[in-house]
Amino acid sequence: MFIYSTLSRSKEEFSPLKPNRVKLFVCGPTVYDDSHIGHGRTYIAFDCIARYFRYKGYSLFYLQNITDLDDKIIKRARERGVDPILLAREYERKYLADMKALGVENVNLHARATEHIPEIIEQIRKLLEKGFAYETENGVYFEEAKFPDFGKLSQRKLEDLTVHRVDPDPRKKSPGDFVLWKKIDEQPCWESPWGRGRPGWHIEDTAITEEYFGAQYDIHGGGLDLIFPHHEAEIAQMESASGLKPMVLYWMHTGFLNVKGEKMSKSLGNFVTIQELLQRWDGEVFRFLVLSAHYRSPIDFGEDALIQAQNSLERIKKTLQKMVGFYEDPEKQGGIKVGENRKIWDEVHKKFLEAMDDDFNTPQALSVLFEAIRYINRQLQDKSLKNSDIIKIKTIFKDWGEILGVNFFPPEKKEDRTEDVLEILLDVRGKLREKKDWKLSDMIRSDLKDLGFELEDS
Ligand code: AMP
């Protein structure tokens, strides 16, 4: 299995720190507003990646932080006259519901920043002790110049970096130094050895990952926009605090979901919220659209792309539906024999997995899937499909659906077992009557009556 790492700018063979275990951390949302489909793109991509690790038999721990402490949250809460933490909880709930609607359900743990303040303080204390950070009247800062590797992920030189940052604290040693702890005596704030305040954004993630994964782990993901300064700062903090390199083996970044060539974002106002999308489209259609592109490539979002995704999905489902209807009485086929096509299907499945092994190449995997659909259609036309092929194809498509997070088959109807349950109940009631437990047996009769079942003892 090969994964493209942003750090080396190349595909590397995947070899986790501990055999068969994968620790994956993906930056979570800042919960101050409804999530838009750009967020959806990134989280669908990582959800599929997580599914594939599990499919391959890895034991995966997928961790995500929730930024429930941020100036944007506080600002929004003030505008509405509500408590910032309650506002964050409201949008966290909405975010989780949105993710569920998009089939994103593989995160093992969502860790809130506000619930990891002691870990954050501890990491800052370590950085100060080791001389990587310093304190001013306004806060505690990471001193970029002390970490010569700064810029290794974004491939920027330290000299170029210092001019870019905007920070109002004139007491900083260098403009590029970033904040670890802001001294603020205003709610929400926490006690710390440096007085009341709030943590900086970058330290939140490294404190959380150190808590659950330790100082080193396998994969860190997020959107492209997070490479600099966020992920760069994370490396500087964690590698300085622990003295261990590298903090992360593979850095994975998703491409943007764009509208007319521009990144969909809150600030540009060109966004569609997930809720808005779901009013008109099935979450699965959007998911299919996202997976039709490689996770590192940009996606040009528009109505046309959605229509195309919907048509493709329908075509797949219709073919499979037709195929299932083609299953004949085994008697007529002379029992279930091994079809001639079995080998072909093993080969097709292998090709799908090879595409996924190649840096989770979902568009390539989908082209294998479309080829398979064309093949099935031809076989349906000349009536050459055998029962055993149908069983095999069903299994393969179920596997692919599990990996992609798409249901290619309608949910199986549960058999109505009401009669059987009634039989059991009547049996129990009969035994109660034998024991002359009239109270309980009458209760059963009356409860059944409420459900519309009239019982007559005869
Ligand atoms: P935020 O809450 O803005 O920090 O974003 C949460 C995640 O969504 C980050 O990994 C971002 O990189 C990602 N993201 C935000 N906008 C887009 C977009 N238009 N396309 C793809 N990913 C995005």
Does 330 have pLDDT greater than 80?
no
- Rounded distance from Cα 236 to ligand 1 centre (Å): 22
Helix residue ranges, H only, 56-184 = 71-80, 84-101, 117-129, 158-161
pLDDT digits (tens, 9 = 90+) for 397-417: 999 999 999 999 988 777 788
Does 180 have pLDDT greater than 70?
yes
Measured in degrees and rounded to the nearest 5, phi and psi for residue 253 equal: -130, 135
The confidence score (pLDDT) of residue 406 equals 98
The beta strands (E) that lie in 335-402 are given as: none
Is any atom of ligand 1 closer than 6 Å to the C-beta of 270? no
Per-residue three-class SS string for 279-341: HHCCHHHHHHHHHCCCCCCCEECCHHHHHHHHHHHHHHHHHHHHHHHCCCCCCCCCCCCCCCC
What is the atom index within ligand 1 of the atom nearest the CA of 225? 12
Does 336 have pLDDT greater than 70?
no
Q: Which residue has the tokens 């001294």?
A: 183
pLDDT digits (tens, 9 = 90+) for 295-308: 999 999 999 999 99
The confidence score (pLDDT) of residue 45 equals 98
Does 132 have pLDDT greater than 50?
yes
Does 337 have pLDDT greater than 60?
no
The confidence score (pLDDT) of residue 168 equals 65
- Residue 217 to residue 208: CA distance in whole angstroms: 12
* Confidence band, pLDDT 50/70/90 cuts, at residue 163: very low
Is any atom of ligand 1 closer than 6 Å to the C-beta of 29? yes
What is the atom index within ligand 1 of the atom nearest the CA of 299? 20
Is any atom of ligand 1 closer than 6 Å to the C-beta of 248? no
Does 166 have pLDDT greater than 70?
no
Instruction: Report the nearest-CA residue for atom 9 of ligand 1.
Output: 223
Is any atom of ligand 1 closer than 6 Å to the C-beta of 99? no
Nearest CA-CA partner of 46 in 345, 362, 429:
362
* Confidence band, pLDDT 50/70/90 cuts, at residue 164: very low
Mean pLDDT of 101-116: 98
Mean pLDDT of 335-359: 85
Rg (CA), the chain: 28
Best of 37, 96, 225 for a ligand 1 pocket test (most atoms within 8 Å of beta carbon): 225
Does 105 have pLDDT greater than 80?
yes
Measured in degrees and rounded to the nearest 5, phi and psi for residue 278 equal: -70, -20
The confidence score (pLDDT) of residue 243 equals 98
Does 456 have pLDDT greater than 70?
yes
The confidence score (pLDDT) of residue 418 equals 85
Share of the chain above pLDDT 90, in %: 83
- Rounded distance from Cα 348 to ligand 1 centre (Å): 34
pLDDT digits (tens, 9 = 90+) for 20-39: 999 999 999 999 999 999 99
What is the atom index within ligand 1 of the atom nearest the CA of 263? 19
Sequence-ordered list of residues with C-beta below 8 angstroms from that of 344, at least 6 positions apart, any chain: none
Is any atom of ligand 1 closer than 6 Å to the C-beta of 388? no
Residue 250, beta-bridge partner list: 219
- Rounded distance from Cα 288 to ligand 1 centre (Å): 19
Contact criterion met (CB below 8 Å) for 28 and 96: no
